[in-house]
Amino acid sequence: MPTMMPGSGRSGDTESYAERLFAKLLRSEGITGWVEQLPIAGWRIDCAWPELRLAVEIGGWAYRSGLDSLQAIQRDS
């Protein structure tokens, strides 16, 4: 797992276009203290502010598509 650098938004590669767009938005607005792909309990959180105990998962269609997947996303949320 890559080394995380809090505040820089760098800890590993983002997995989707939506995640890259979110990271770009955070950087452009000068928002700091976040890391990408933070490992927690066997999961990787898309974007997190560990000191605030805040996690953001970016939902996108890159890995899911169709009505069955939409229903799975809603059920899992």
Res. 4 pLDDT band, cuts 50 70 90: very low
Partner residues linked to 40 by β-bridges? 43
Task: Please indicate whether residue 28 or residue 2 has the higher confidence score (pLDDT).
Answer: 28
At which residue do the structure tokens 């799975």 appear? 72
Task: Please indicate whether residue 51 or residue 17 has the higher confidence score (pLDDT).
Answer: 51
Q: In sequence order, what are the residues at sequence separation of 6 or more whose Cβ sits closer than 8 angstroms to the Cβ of residue 16? A: 58, 60, 62, 63
| pTM of structure | 0.62
